Structure 1
Amino acid sequence: MAGAAAGKKAGGRGLRWLLPWAGLLAVGLLWWAGSVALTARTPIAAAFAPWPTFQALAGLVTGADIWHHTLLSLQRVGVGLALAIGFGVPLGVATGLWRGFAQATGPVFQFLRMISPLSWMPIAVMVLGVGDAPVYFLLAFAAVWPVLLSTAAGVAQLDPNWLLLARSVSATGRETVWRVILPGITAQILTGVRLAIGIIWIVLVPAEMLGVSAGLGYFILDTRDRLAYSELMAAILLIGALGFLLDHLARWVHARWLHSS
């Protein structure tokens, strides 16, 4: 019985590793079949096929140019995320603690978060000029809402006895926030940050088409202008892989925090 259970467990573990690769293989076959079908009508589609794309990807990752664009994009993601956390966490704490503030700002926040960040692109350029500043604004605007809402939800779910205990020992408002509230809602904040990373990565590429001279979004436009379609597809794969790794890292940090707490 023990041997059968161990074999079943090992088989389940092997299946968990096999299924993701099977899914990737299926997508690759569909990609290849689609490119073959399109090439019959549009010869240029051959440049988007898997083999030319992976050849271009190998050339990209072994060169220094793409990593320069990647590092700049990651820097913008970091700045945008830091701004979102810097605004989202205090506003979320205020929303969760003070009912009057929540009632006054709730409709405003819900209205603003339903506006696509890319809608602000022309205004961001007019107000902030070209360069990194409008990109930072768009990324922060896209990422602040999941951080704010997750923080507010975390405060609302706090055990009221913790706040009563803080008052009973004459803790100041600042001490209550730093010693009781923030440690108690860290898991919710990390959940919001993880969601924000996914949103910010999606908004990054179109945001980097705002007159900047480097970055993954700029690189996409550059490959289009150079008619380097295989490099364009390779850049798309690279963007997907980097986004996957960022999300995996955020999930790992969140899981480690939950496990340690």
Structure 2
Amino acid sequence: MTREGMAEVLRCLRPGSDRDPAAAGARALGVEGVAVSVFGQSPAEADSTRAPEPLWCSPELSLRFEELQFTLGEGPGPDATRAGIPVLEPDLQRVRPDRWPVLLPAARQLGVHGVCCFPLALGGARLGLLTLLCGGDGPLSDRQLRDTNTLTAALIAALLGDRGPAGQRIGSNGNTVDDDRLWPPEGLQRAVVHQATGMLSVQLGTSMADALVRLRASAYGSERSLGDVAEDIVARRLRFDDGTQDDGNGPHLPESGEG
């Protein structure tokens, strides 16, 4: 039977609820933080090169860690997204330093001790990721794992909605109801990163993958978020030197009058 704490989380996922499912989830699961991230495109378009974007995060540390992983492109979240299977590292001190060489020291500096990531997927539809921040004091208990599985299933149902054969959403009483599913969400911002990556790929004459590496390196080196750097590129406030002969100067502001 679902405990009262998990029942509260499930109530937060009901249409019209103004309660925070991430905060309720952290309390119910007994973890330091919860983040639910989602892809901003259709399931058929979601692929391993696109990172999900935070939808619910609590506390702020969860959001900061999500942004750190997105900027660096490494960590349990990206690994779980690419592989489509859970990545459980409840004690980051026990992770080999060469597995996530940049993320691990940055995570320690943030105060993140352990991370467990669970993909949100149904069949071939990749919807997002559930991330738990752990205290670093041991693996998740059996009860925590059972409750996490319950939450994962509830999130998938809330994001997609329970749909009948004709596409209607089916309510708990068996009747069709208005389409109030939460996915795909509106107002996500990471599309600008993909746009900036494309612009940078053309500008440098490199592949999209290499352009994203350069973009991430610039964000990390300047201690800015990936989104902020991407917005500057798309707005033509920032451009990169020709990557053929890199002089080490990296990106720079365009001269006055240039766009």
- The alignment's TM-score, normalised by the length of structure 2, stands at 0.23
Identify, as 1 or 2, the structure richer in strand.
2
Identify, as 1 or 2, the structure richer in helix.
1
